[in-house]
Amino acid sequence: MKKPKIITIDGPAASGKTTIAKLLAKSLGYCLLESGAFYRLVTYLLLKHNLYEKFIQKNLNLIETLSKLFSSVKINLTAEATQIFYEGREIKSELREIQVEERVSVVASIPEVREFIKDFLRKLVNNRLVVAEGRDMGSVVFKDAEVKVFLTADERIRAERRYKEKTEKESLPYTQVMDSLKKRDQLDSTRKVAPLTVPEGALILDTSELTPKEVLTKILHHLEKV
Ligand code: DC
């Protein structure tokens, strides 16, 4: 099997990207790059510093604000996780809070944010072997990646997966989870810059009826052929 430098995995929310990317990174000994975490981080930091409204209304210099906020950010990439540290403290559960979840698509649709994160991710990866998961990994950020995967799954199944994941930590009505997922899909697929699309040449897998192990096996088979 050839060792591609970058393997991209894109797809809508709760299509299984993170689970699969993690399994794949572990089995190949690659680093895991969870790109959604960076859009979540921007959203979290804007809320934390009370800059969210001003930022989305573009009432401040966006790139300058992002550069300033990111000057205190450190990243550690392992096969298991993309670890994010802000002012020396690991930020993890904060990125999954509902306030962040409900605003992240809006933040991710701002061209300056996408440009900033794209440059940041390219620099971060440098020469490492990575499995990069997100919405535009294969179509924009790592357009030249030799192996691209696109995961899909039935909307109802994705909502159930997200609901299970969320209600492990907090009690939320199912309809709220479903609505938030739909809204996010809609915004992520229709935004002007880097909308969620199937990258050219990607292996498309519907994970609705597959276990994570079955998905992994299919990707490993695909890797043997490229
Ligand atoms: O994968 P996730 O749920 O952590 O992603 C959070 C949000 O970030 C999602 O609503 C869309 C956005 N995102 C993006 O626009 N581009 C990426 N490459 C990854 C995520």
For every one of its 226 residues, what pLDDT tens digit does the chain have, with 9 covering 90 and above?
568 999 999 999 899 999 999 999 999 999 999 999 999 999 999 999 999 999 999 999 999 999 999 999 999 999 999 999 999 999 999 999 989 988 999 999 999 999 999 999 999 999 899 999 999 999 999 999 999 999 999 999 999 998 888 787 778 888 988 898 888 888 888 988 988 999 999 999 999 999 999 999 999 999 998 8
Going by C-alpha positions, the residue among 39, 35, 29 that lies closest to residue 10 is 35
- In a domain, residue 107? The reply is yes
Cβ–ligand 1 contact at 35 (below 6 Å): yes
Q: Could you give the angle at the alpha carbon of 152 between the alpha carbons of 18 and 42, nearest 5°?
A: 45
Q: 222 Cβ partners below 8 Å, 6+ apart?
A: 147, 149, 203
- In a domain, residue 47? The reply is yes
Q: Whose CA is nearest to atom 9 of ligand 1?
A: 105
Query: Residue 95 sits in which domain range?
Result: 6-208
Indicate which atom in ligand 1 lies nearest the CA of residue 109. 15
Number of domains the chain contains? 1
CA contacts within 13 A on the Cβ side of 143: 4
- In a domain, residue 224? The reply is no
The predicted structure's pLDDT at residue 165 = 84
Gap between the Cα atoms of 187 and 12, Å rounded: 11
The predicted structure's pLDDT at residue 2 = 67
- In a domain, residue 167? The reply is yes
The predicted structure's pLDDT at residue 188 = 87
Gap between the Cα atoms of 150 and 137, Å rounded: 10
Cβ–ligand 1 contact at 110 (below 6 Å): no
Cβ–ligand 1 contact at 133 (below 6 Å): no
The predicted structure's pLDDT at residue 172 = 83
pTM over the 0.85 mark: yes
Q: Ligand 1 pocket: which of 82, 84, 104 to mutate (most atoms <8 Å of CB)?
A: 104
Cβ–ligand 1 contact at 39 (below 6 Å): yes
- In a domain, residue 171? The reply is yes
- In a domain, residue 142? The reply is yes
CA of 160 to the centre of ligand 1 (A): 19
Q: Whose CA is nearest to atom 13 of ligand 1?
A: 36
Local structure of 22: helix, strand or coil: helix
- In a domain, residue 215? The reply is no
> What is the domain-level CATH number for residue 160?
3.40.50.300
Measured in residues, the chain has a length of 226
